[in-house]
Structure 1
Amino acid sequence: MKGVLSYLKPYRKYMIFAWVLMLMELAVDLLHPLFMVKIIDEGIVKGDLSIVYRWGALMLLTSIIAFAAGITNSFAASHVGQNFGYDVRKALFKKIQTFSFADFNRFSSSTLITRLTNDVTQIQMTIFLFLRIALKAPLLVIFGTLMVFLINFRLALVLGVTIPLSIAFLVWMYKKSSHLFQIVQSKLDRVNGILSENLAGIRLIKAFLRSHFEGSRFKKASHALMKKTIEVSTIVELVSPILHFVMNSSILVILWFANKEILSNQAEIGEVVAIVNYAMRITMSLSMATFILMFVSRAHASTERIQDVLETSVQMEEDKEVAPFQIQDGHICFKNVSFRYPGDSVTVLDDLSFTVEPNETIAILGATGAGKSSLFQLIPRLYDVSEGAVHIDGIDVREMKQEHLRNQIGLVPQDALLFSGTIKENIQWGKEDATMDEIINAAKHAQIHETIMKFPHSYRTVIGQKGVNLSGGQKQRISLARAFIRQPKILLLDDSTSALDMKTEEKLLEGLRSYKGTKLLITQKISTALKADRIFILEDGKIVAMGTHGKLLRISDLYRKIVQSQNMRKGAFQYVKTSSANEN
């Protein structure tokens, strides 16, 4: 909890200022019953109106001062709360950006969103309450009780019994509700998770007529959240009536004893009025504690959830003193590489050893689950190898600064992900300072320039969320342009031409031939693999064959089956066999 609250340090002056203003309000609240003692006992009882006017004017003046202090306090408390929330959200987002792929397995997207939004809001609202009224309430209880004892010790004994009992009850409720609010937040995570999935997959849901099923799933999660929230709220809401009953009962007891004290001339009427006034203020403060209790309990749960993210140790640490590394050739070497996803015992890649020469084009074929995408993710060090090493230009990628490494690699993932914004901004996302000429050139290499120019606003056409207003092929080509604009020494294309027609793909692959850089392509198409210098066949995490198309036809039964399964034209197949006979 201390880690999260440390973000309050820059605003200590504002906090002290807010507390000073709060103490001014508190002082007025504590003094007013004493002023009433003077007005009643020395003014009204004795018939001296000058006393009434004098002390009444002082009450009015102090009330105006308290009002001004309260307004100013609200501004200061709001300033601290809002800036604190901004700083924590920024720190959370920055921390999440440092996560490796393995770290993201610990937190779902929905829970990270909830922690960045709902949890931060809970804490900043609680901070506002603490600066505005939450600290005032216990101080009013303490000093109000002390004032009662100073006015009349015997009558104060009643409050001396009931107030400690009430405080003990509040502490017990706080501990109980804090745990329950953690459960509520986890239920909220579940609701947000289902909602996020449904919004992302709404077209698929409608196409498969699964709206009823997804509605039932959401209803179940939402009902669980509602049920747990009602349970917690019911427990918390019981606090106020119980406290009111105890404190009001104590006031009745005080009045009963006060009647005897007045009749025996051991107490003044003004004293009794002041004691009752203090008792009512204490009751209001304890009731306010019920409201504060709910916020503090939720804030405590939220603080632990935020702290959990901020204190997450990033698995892929790097030496901050590493000098910048510049990829010169783009030579890639896998040395006895084995890989298992963190927390999983299944070996995805098993003892891979191969080299890729500078400017070479490699096509990687394999069935679903063979480990193709996993192999790609090891090159820019999105994951660390379990065994062995990946070298680029003779340097282990673990010895490079991740920023330097990834900045020189162009990766086009299997699922083309675009961001809300214009086409220009999405291409420029690959190189922040890219000029318009560079953007156009990258688009031409990706075979998307002519298509973009047909849009009403060309490069300034706004893309919907995740590229909803574009076709699959258009999204893939914009993703390719985003990678091309970096002019990386190593280019990784993960089945990035699957949505392209044969003519467009042919142009794209021809353009890649003249691209200066090492290129690795994951593909399911033999027609695409034919454009590569060499082909790797991956099966169950192992490279079972590698070589040119002709060589593989001779030595690999699996490759021949893949070729035959794609129904290559007999003439083309025969041509390949004939040409392969002339190869070494």
Structure 2
Amino acid sequence: MHFVFKYLKPYYAHMAVAWSLMLIELAVELLLPFFLGKMIDDGIVAHNLHTVVMWGLIMMGLALLAFLAGVTNSFYSSHVTFRFGYDVRKKLFEKVQAFSFKNLNEYPTSTLITRFTNDVRQIQNGIFMGLRIMIRAPLLVAGGVMMAFVENWRIAMIFLILVPLLVGFLFWVLKKARHLFELVQDRLDQVNRVMQENLSGIRLIKAFLRSRFERGRFKQANHELMQYTKTSLRFIETSMPVLLLVMNMSLLFIIWYGNIEISNNRATVGEVVAIVNYALRVSMAIGMFGFLSMAFARMTASAHRLEKVMNAEIDLLESEQANAHHTITAGKVEFHDVSFRYPDSKEKILSNITFTAKPKEKIAIIGATGSGKTTLFQLIPRLYDVSGGKIRIDGVDVRDMKLDLLRKKIGYVPQDPLLFTGSIFENIAWGKNDATRGEIIQAAKDAQIHDTIAGLPEGYETMIGQKGVNLSGGQKQRMSIARALVRKPKILMLDDSTSALDLKTETKLLQAIQKYDCTILMVTQKITTAMTADRIILMDEGRLIAAGTHKQLLATSSLYQKIVQSQYGKEENDEHQEYLS
């Protein structure tokens, strides 16, 4: 619960006001039975109408005071609750934004969404109840018992046996319920994960006729959530009848014993009525514990889940030696004996990679699927850190550069282009906050997407669906390239991002980006694309096998010859060999 109190600290003053108002409500609730007893003994039994009216007016005034205190308490409680939710979601989002890829692998998207929504809401419910009734309930129990002793200590002795027994029982219920509700939240994560995967891949599911299979997956996850929720709620609800049975038996005993005390002149009718009222209030407060314990159990379970995310150790941080003056000016990229393995994995993805990309040089990286091309790209902007060796940009180790200065000068187009819900203009401008309309249009022209945009009814203001669902693969790729170009990067990285383009469009695009003052690194599977590069780097199983121009590799590398042959056929390959000889 330290996590919760940390984010409540700015609102301690508001909480103090809420609790003060709650204490006014509590005081009124404890005084009303006492005054009722006085009205019965001094007014009704004594046939004194003036006393009845006096105590009645006092009780009505106190009830009005309690009403006003309760309304104001709800206002302050709501303020604290909603501000807490706002602050936690803000900090949680900032934390996730700072996550490395390793952290994101530990916390899938679905479980993070559950924490942002359901877990935060459970804590908010607990805080509101804590300010409104959660603390009031135990104080009402303690105050009711004390006031009962003030009225008649003999009859009130029953509370000394009853209350500790029930409170101990409730603490056991609370401890057990917390574990059960943690399991419920885990199952909710699974339901969200299945839903997210299905909504993202609904077209593929329909194309492969896998709807029945996916319904089965969802049914199983949903069934598990239902079973664990049912078990948790049944456990909590079972405690309520036990509490009510014991308290009702206690009420009957108080009335029976009170009658004996009245007959023996050791108690008055007003005292017995007052104690019965206190017993009812204590009964309701303890009965409320069942509901409160369920809310508190959910709150603590959710707080524990959020705390794990907030306290997650981020393995990729800026070095203390990071220099704000180190920025990318020329775009020279050097790999020195670079090796890499993913966190918590023993298998090397890259081994002893060494090469240099000179400023304004265009280098194509080619190789079989799984050869480490995309991983190599991810090391340059420090999305991962190398396991061995060094990567230098303009002579400076990337680990000694400020992350924002490093990434600000890099234009990265991923293998799977991602567009956001919004207009085309906003999606391209996403690459540069202060981009002018002219810059955006020029980037779109160079990316060979301007004519397509201009042909749309709303042009650059055309809205894009989630993830660019209303665009073709080639349109999404060119839009992503425009977003990278508008940055005017010093290093442009294209990760197989022209795969959906026809040869003519791709040629125009590659010619257009040549005018940019940047080093170009492009992963590709097309020999035609690789041939336009100044140099080609050939990779296989995480190793750099060969490097050179298309002609040099065709003459010296058997692997490259096989790749060319697979794309052009044996005759074309023989023509290349004959030309080189």
TM over 0.5: yes
**Number of the residue aligned with 2:297:** 297
Q: 1:61-117 CA deviation, whole Å, 9 max, x = no partner? A: 110110111111111100100000000000000000000111111111111000011
Q: 1:195-238 CA deviation, whole Å, 9 max, x = no partner? A: 00000000000010100000000000000000000000000001
Does residue 417 (structure 1) correspond to residue 411 (structure 2)? The answer is no
Q: 1:500-534 CA deviation, whole Å, 9 max, x = no partner? A: 11111110111122222111110000000010000
**What's the CA shift for 1:573?**
6.8
**Number of the residue aligned with 1:382:** 383
Unaligned runs of 5+ in 2: none
In structure 1, what residue type is equivalent to 2:292? I
Unaligned runs of 5+ in 1: none
**Number of the residue aligned with 2:168:** 168
Contact 2:3/2:303 (<8 A) preserved: no
Does residue 130 (structure 1) correspond to residue 130 (structure 2)? The answer is yes
**What's the CA shift for 1:5?**
2.2
SS in 1 for 2:223: helix
1:125-524 matches, cutoff 5 A: 125-319=125-319, 322-524=323-525
| Partner Cα separation in structure 2 for residue 10 and residue 55 of structure 1 | 42
Contact 1:427/1:485 (<8 A) preserved: yes
Q: How many residues align?
A: 580
| Partner Cα separation in structure 2 for residue 274 and residue 4 of structure 1 | 39
Q: 1:242-298 CA deviation, whole Å, 9 max, x = no partner? A: 111111111111111111100010000000000000000001111111111111000
Contact 2:334/2:356 (<8 A) preserved: yes
| Partner Cα separation in structure 1 for residue 282 and residue 572 of structure 2 | 96
**Number of the residue aligned with 2:23:** 23
Contact 1:181/1:298 (<8 A) preserved: yes
SS in 1 for 2:106: coil
SS in 1 for 2:316: coil
Query: Cα RMSD over matched residues?
Result: 1.2
SS in 1 for 2:568: coil
Contact 1:439/1:485 (<8 A) preserved: yes
| Partner Cα separation in structure 2 for residue 364 and residue 140 of structure 1 | 73
Q: 1:126-148 CA deviation, whole Å, 9 max, x = no partner? A: 10111111111010001111111
Does residue 58 (structure 1) correspond to residue 58 (structure 2)? The answer is yes
In structure 2, what residue type is equivalent to 1:562? I
| Partner Cα separation in structure 2 for residue 434 and residue 513 of structure 1 | 21
| Partner Cα separation in structure 1 for residue 238 and residue 339 of structure 2 | 59
Question: TM-score scaled by structure 2?
Answer: 0.98
**What's the CA shift for 1:241?**
1.2
| Partner Cα separation in structure 1 for residue 551 and residue 419 of structure 2 | 38
Q: Which moved more, 1:66-75 or 1:315-324?
A: 315-324
| Partner Cα separation in structure 2 for residue 54 and residue 580 of structure 1 | 115
Question: TM-score scaled by structure 1?
Answer: 0.98
Q: 1:534-564 CA deviation, whole Å, 9 max, x = no partner? A: 0011000001111000000111001011101
Contact 1:101/1:382 (<8 A) preserved: yes
**Number of the residue aligned with 2:92:** 92
In structure 1, what residue type is equivalent to 2:182? Q
What is the percentage of aligned positions where both structures have the same residue?
54
Q: 1:311-333 CA deviation, whole Å, 9 max, x = no partner? A: 11110121366324221111111
**What's the CA shift for 1:12?**
1.2
Classify 1:123/1:571 alpha carbon distance in 2 versus 1 (closer, same or farther; 3 Å): closer
Contact 1:239/1:290 (<8 A) preserved: yes
Q: 1:376-431 CA deviation, whole Å, 9 max, x = no partner? A: 00000000001111111111111111111111101000001000000000000000
**Number of the residue aligned with 1:532:** 533
| Partner Cα separation in structure 1 for residue 566 and residue 160 of structure 2 | 89
Q: 1:440-470 CA deviation, whole Å, 9 max, x = no partner? A: 0100110000000001100000000000000
SS in 2 for 1:352: strand
| Partner Cα separation in structure 1 for residue 96 and residue 456 of structure 2 | 36
Contact 2:364/2:522 (<8 A) preserved: yes
Contact 1:4/1:88 (<8 A) preserved: no
